[in-house]
Amino acid sequence: MEFGDSPQEAAFRRRARDWLDVTKPGLPAFSTSDQYWAKAADWHQALYDAGFFGLSWPQEYGGHGLPAVYDVILDEELAAAGAPSRPGLGYLVRGFLRHASDDVNRRFLPGIISGRDRWCQGFSEPEAGSDLASLRTSAERDGDRWIISGHKIWTSYSDSADWCLLLARTDATVPRHRGLTAFAVPMHQPGVRQQPITMINGVTREFGEVFFDGATARHADMIGPPGEGWALAMTVVSHEREPGELGYVARYAKAVSELVQLVRQDPGRYPAEDVASVGWAVVEAEMLRVHACRRLSERLDGISPGPGGSVDKLLMTEADQAVGHAALAVSGFASGGGDDEARRSGDTGPASDADGDSWLRMYLYSRAASVMGGTSEIQRNVVATRVLGLPVA
């Protein structure tokens, strides 16, 4: 695989860079405050209107039909500019493209890609997270609609969503993996109640739990055939775990570069173990970058991720938490440099008070990486049984 830009790719990179030079999203690069989520929809639509969103998705639904390498170029330029990443909706789009009918895709994908319609994903439940097949949210047929009852949790962007890609049990008489069906459920209707979940870093608008009590979905808005919800869910989560799909590689590279610069500016202020944590973050970010290049090469050859996506998720988690740990060390909070007295005096170590707080929030957010999107324990089980072919204990 050739990693240098072709003339067409170089021209696209210049156009993206020029646009970013004059476009100020007014948002942090990472999800560290509610402000990020309040303006995320505007950023999505700005990217789309400028021709920088949906690059590798089909043109008939509002995409550009370009090779996936253009997504990588955009991710690199967004990270270099300190801008937020492109919204991570690829896993939803891939789920629709593979499992939904042409009619359903024509009705829903243009709104998803353009950002006119906001979506959330209703999979996990309080007692069905990693063991998703045990979910208990039910949908019962009533003429041309389905009546939905249940409870979803860790539902990203639920407070701003117009629609939910919901997984519900439609047949309790068959094996649990075969009785699930996916629906597009309107969020603005009686029978849908939302409750935000406050995260450890102070963000309240990223996650929520949603209660369905007699909510309805049209039969025509079923995503895929009845009973095929598990297959759709596996498509969604396999793409959800791709680091390249979410632009993580470029963001981590940018973060570790900034951490290295902080250490180099005044290396004598850092204990050896803090310098080592930054060094390890560099290693983890580079391992993820090289792995993502391999995945990109496979994708350009038409190879889908499959269970190997669990390897992606594990590497992404390790990189996320290594960068978070290094950020905590450099911010001064880990060694006590971030206490109240130090902050009041302005002596919070090499980073400013505002920067130090941002690094701390990055660290706090990273702690969830080994849980969200499927726990690391479950990912290791998938790798052991479905990738390496080891026997189930």
CATH code of residue 177: 2.40.110.10
Same domain, 383 and 245: yes
d(CA 237, CA 54): 19
Q: What is the pLDDT of residue 27?
A: 76
Q: Determine, yes or no, domain membership for 137.
A: yes
Q: Determine, yes or no, domain membership for 295.
A: yes
Q: What is the pLDDT of residue 88?
A: 84
Q: What is the pLDDT of residue 354?
A: 52
The total number of structural domains in the chain stands at 3
Final residue belonging to a domain, choices 184, 201, 225: 225
Encoded tokens for 247: 């632009």
Residue 186 DSSP class: E
Q: What is the pLDDT of residue 264?
A: 94
Active site residue ranges: 240
Same domain, 213 and 261: no
CA dihedral (71, 76, 81, 84) in degrees, to 10, reads 50
- CA distances for 161 relative to 25, 35, 206, 360, angstroms: 21, 16, 11, 29
Whether the Cβ atoms of residue 46 and residue 23 lie closer than 8 Å to each other: yes
Spacing of C-alpha 54 from chain mean position: 15
- CA distances for 74 relative to 18, 68, 96, 125, angstroms: 12, 10, 23, 34
311-366 pLDDT, tens digit per residue, is 989 999 999 999 999 999 998 776 554 444 433 333 434 444 456 688 898 899 89
Count CA within 13 A, CB hemisphere, residue 343. Answer: 12
Q: Determine, yes or no, domain membership for 24.
A: yes
CATH number at residue 34: 1.10.540.10
d(CA 341, CA 270): 20
- The helix or strand, by DSSP H or E, that contains position 180, with its residue range, turns out to be strand 180-186
Q: What is the pLDDT of residue 292?
A: 86
Q: What is the pLDDT of residue 242?
A: 67
Continuous H helices in the chain: 7-22, 34-38, 40-49, 69-80, 90-99, 102-114, 229-240, 243-246, 248-265, 272-300, 309-331, 340-345, 353-366, 376-382
d(CA 157, CA 330): 31
Q: What is the pLDDT of residue 350?
A: 43
Final residue belonging to a domain, choices 32, 67, 87: 87
Final residue belonging to a domain, choices 29, 64, 87: 87
Same domain, 188 and 50: no
Q: What is the pLDDT of residue 260?
A: 95
- The helix or strand, by DSSP H or E, that contains position 27, with its residue range, turns out to be none
Query: Using a CB cutoff of 8 Å and minimum separation of 24, what contacts does 250-253 make?
Result: 250/72, 250/75, 250/76, 250/78, 250/79, 250/80, 250/85, 251/29, 251/30, 251/75, 251/79, 251/85, 252/281, 252/284, 252/285, 252/288, 252/289, 252/319, 252/320, 252/323, 253/79, 253/285, 253/289
Q: Determine, yes or no, domain membership for 366.
A: yes
Same domain, 254 and 375: yes
Q: Determine, yes or no, domain membership for 231.
A: no
d(CA 170, CA 181): 6
Same domain, 191 and 245: no
Other C-beta atoms lying within 10 Å of the C-beta of residue 274: 22
Same domain, 296 and 333: yes
Q: What is the pLDDT of residue 3?
A: 64
Same domain, 264 and 370: yes
Same domain, 178 and 218: yes
Same domain, 148 and 196: yes
Largest CA distance in the chain: 72
Q: Determine, yes or no, domain membership for 198.
A: yes
Q: Determine, yes or no, domain membership for 1.
A: no
Residue 193's DSSP bridge partners are 211
Output the pTM of the full model: 0.87
CATH number at residue 257: 1.20.140.10
Q: Determine, yes or no, domain membership for 109.
A: no
d(CA 161, CA 155): 10
Same domain, 221 and 343: no
Residue 5 DSSP class: P
Same domain, 274 and 221: no
Same domain, 80 and 195: no
Q: What angle do CA 12, 15, 21 make, to 5 degrees?
A: 140
Whether the Cβ atoms of residue 212 and residue 191 lie closer than 8 Å to each other: yes
Give every residue of the chain whose pLDDT is below 50, as ranges.
Answer: 337-353
Count CA within 13 A, CB hemisphere, residue 20. Answer: 21
Structural domain that includes position 365: 241-387
Residue 208 DSSP class: E
Spacing of C-alpha 352 from chain mean position: 29
d(CA 246, CA 288): 13
Whether the Cβ atoms of residue 95 and residue 228 lie closer than 8 Å to each other: no
Encoded tokens for 361: 């929030």
